Chains A and B, each alone.
Chain A
Amino acid sequence: MHIDRYERWWIYLAAGLLGVFGIALAFSSAVLGIRLPGIEEQFLPTAAAGDYDVEQGWVRELAPGRYEVNMRARVWSFEPNEIRVPVGSTVTFYVHSDDVIHGMKIQNTTVSMMVLPGEVARATYTFTEPGEYLFMCHEYCGAGHHFMSGRVIVEAL
């Protein structure tokens, strides 16, 4: 099969670029620790035992600066929909759905996940800047989908 010289270079160039992108992504995941949800994310919150009901929404301080949020999504609200933590806190969100598929995205963070009934989605983020972080449902869940939101208020010390 005959391949033109320029076309050969073009193919090498495209493959090489994709290789570089691939390495950058591997770096972001392995070294920077930006993770996607996986199977192991189906765990329940550690605080689920005892007085905390996983069906409900709640916020709990595990240790100074370490928080766990159990979030309940349903048409068309989040529970809790206002979360207050001090700046510098590391928060792990466990989100489940009572009805249809929802999403949960916190603006200006790496927290973004699909919330499927029957699964628990998990994401962890450290809030290093004080301020108000909007979160919203970003999967269509019915006629009131655009009302489904809340905020994380990160308080300055």
Chain B
Amino acid sequence: MTMGAQASIARGDGTAQELYRPPETERRLSLAFITVGFAHLAVGILLGLLQGLQHAGIDLYAYVPFVRHYYQGLAMHGVFNVLVFTTFFIGGFLFFVAGYGFRRPLVTSGLAWTTFWLMTAGLLLVDWALLTNQASVLYTSYAPLQAHPAYYLGLVLVVVGTWLQLVILLRTFFAWRRENPGKRTPLIAFGALVTLIMWTMASAGIAVQFVGFLLPWSLGWMQGIDPLLSRTLFWFTGHPIVYFWLLPAYISWYFMLPRQVGGRLFSESLARLAFLLFIPLSLPVGFHHQYLDPGVSEGYKAIHAFLTFAVFMPSAMTAFTVLASIETGGRARGGQGRLGWLLRLPWRDPSVAAQLLAMVLFAFGGISGLINASFTVNLVVHNTLFVPGHFHLTVGTASALTFMGIVYWLVPYLSGRRLFSPRMGVWQAWLWFVGMTIMSRGMSWAGVLGAPRRTALGTAPYFAAEWTVPTWLTAIGGAVLTISGLLFFINLIGTLTASPRAEKLEVPVVESAPDGQDPVPGWLDRFAPWVTATAVLVLISYGPTLYRLFGEMSLTIPGLRPY
């Protein structure tokens, strides 16, 4: 067994803390995942800029050799940003926090590398199909739009990789439990387990959709497909996937950021409860993406609407606990008064600035999400630009900007090199914040005025005069965001290639509360009851509809490639 180096250093508060350093192969593994993810985000951001400009009437697609038209670019933007960047960053991050949290090597790092190569192989298939315009079906893969089989196969391999990751984390967890009987699961490792347990159950929908239908159909083994069933299976996974993107950010906000600002976790019990609630509540809500679909009953849509409101609760709890934890930091640093502590936070630390700003925009993302979820109100905003206006605040900022913030300490830690330019990092975070505020405002505004999403608006013959100002905001915000992205990548590449070696680096992790102070009940450290609750809720909310759709299934609609 290869153990990482162990050392003991004195901390500022005088206590001695045992330092654990994951084995080198694991550090390289996380770095590999993160690099692949961000490389795809770089391309994705460039395409985002093209989209924003196109909406304002500046169509640059003719000058980009590898994109034939708006929708090929949009397919790449969606897939690269929310399927590839997220999944690969999260892969690297969760392996890291699990190993670091358990303070032991993964079981096994060999299998973890296999996972990486499997996912990367799948990714290459996806890249190829997208670049050759054989998969311009957008990231939702709505049948009967049909893509090349390599695209579906590639995505399946990526998802199988995430399942392997859960296997590795569980085996590491069991090994840790044997070595540490009676101890509570370390917080960051606990967060990683919740994330992957929830995701693995959630991915059942696309697993059936891709392996059972899309792949054989695209290979010609199946004459036709059932579009409603396929779509329903997609959204079974398609909503919970957003918590797969969000929970890793929550791991950082709850369990790492408070330490970065010199504070403590305000309430360990509520933090664990919020995480665990996401397991059952993430899944039974997918119909809120199908409010306007014929063929799904209004009653079940209403049940999903109600449960969507329920899954808002753990996020509301998060807002309180995380803010209160950060406040302990601001006060410990001498902040006074109701809001004075805010100014005392280490805003010059790019990792802190990025994550705090991500939280501010996430508040608006949460509110606009409630609007989308609101049953009849959804009629107004469904498939308008209001929706991207919403999710660029959530996955596009709460997750993406937080992940960038994590990179600012994690990549130096993994590579053993100092961050190239912390100042540039702070600028980057603020530019993202400003750019996203402008762009999201433009999109939501255009959306409320009825401008459809997923549409090359700049060349749409029906472009309405009142959309002009909002689409310009989108374009300007997008340009600011692109500059922010550029600064980020300069910093990342600079760190990896041109930065001096770093001395001792710390991983910021909050302490578990001592048992006397904030006793954590045993049911907050068990997964099985929550997994059972999920199964029950899914059965109630999805069972009857899926039973009916499979019963009425007619595989008759042929595939089409109108792109």
Set of chain B residues within 8 Å of A138, measured between Cβ atoms: 382-384, 452-455
**Do B294 and A114 touch (CB < 8 A)?**
yes
**Do A114 and B293 touch (CB < 8 A)?**
yes
Q: Which of A48-56, A65-73, A144-152 contacts B (4 or more CB under 8 A)?
A: A144-152
Q: Which of B172-180, B226-234, B477-485 contacts A (4 or more CB under 8 A)?
A: B226-234
**Do B292 and A75 touch (CB < 8 A)?**
no
Residue of A nearest to B464 (CB): A134
A118-B554 in contact given A101-B142, A146-B459 (Cβ < 8 Å): yes
**CA–CA, A6 to B301, complex, Å?**
34
Residue of A nearest to B75 (CB): A140
Set of chain A residues within 8 Å of B384, measured between Cβ atoms: 105, 138
**CA–CA, A28 to B456, complex, Å?**
33
Chain A, interface residues (CB within 8 Å), range: 35 or more
- Pick the contact of A37: B294, B317, B453 (CB < 8 A): B294
Q: Does B108 contact A (CB under 8 A)?
A: no
**Do A113 and B309 touch (CB < 8 A)?**
no
CB distance from B255 to the nearest CB of A (A): 18
Q: Contact mask A69-83 → B, CB, 8 Å, 1/0?
A: 000000110000000
Q: Does B324 contact A (CB under 8 A)?
A: yes
Set of chain B residues within 8 Å of A39, measured between Cβ atoms: 294-297
**CA–CA, A145 to B374, complex, Å?**
27
Residue of A nearest to B317 (CB): A11
**CA–CA, A5 to B291, complex, Å?**
38
**Do A10 and B71 touch (CB < 8 A)?**
no
Set of chain B residues within 8 Å of A4, measured between Cβ atoms: 266-267, 324
Q: Does A108 contact B (CB under 8 A)?
A: yes
Residue of A nearest to B371 (CB): A21
Residue of B nearest to A38 (CB): B298
CB distance from A45 to the nearest CB of B (A): 14
CB distance from A114 to the nearest CB of B (A): 5
Q: Contact mask B491-529 → A, CB, 8 Å, 1/0?
A: 000000000000000000000000000111100100000
- For window 88-135 of A, CB contacts with B under 8 Å fall at 99-101, 103, 105, 107-108, 110, 112-114, 116-122, 134
CB distance from B28 to the nearest CB of A (A): 39
**Do A142 and B294 touch (CB < 8 A)?**
no
Set of chain A residues within 8 Å of B142, measured between Cβ atoms: 100-101, 139-140
**Do B294 and A41 touch (CB < 8 A)?**
yes
**CA–CA, A53 to B563, complex, Å?**
30
**CA–CA, A92 to B521, complex, Å?**
57
16 more contacts with CB within 8 A, not counting A36-B375, A39-B296, A136-B460, are A7-B270, A10-B320, A11-B316, A14-B313, A21-B370, A28-B377, A36-B379, A39-B294, A105-B383, A105-B384, A108-B450, A116-B231, A118-B226, A118-B227, A140-B142, A146-B457
Top 5 A-B residue pairs of the complex, sorted by shortest distance between their CB atoms: A142-B562, A38-B298, A138-B452, A14-B316, A146-B460
Q: Can you report 12 A-B residue pairs in the complex whose CB atoms are below 8 A from each other?
A: A7-B317, A21-B370, A28-B377, A36-B375, A38-B299, A101-B145, A107-B450, A119-B294, A120-B294, A138-B454, A143-B562, A146-B461
Instruction: Name A's B-contacting residues (CB within 8 A).
Output: 1-4, 6-7, 10-11, 14-15, 18, 21-22, 25, 28-29, 34-39, 41-42, 75-76, 99-101, 103, 105, 107-108, 110, 112-114, 116-122, 134, 136-147, 149
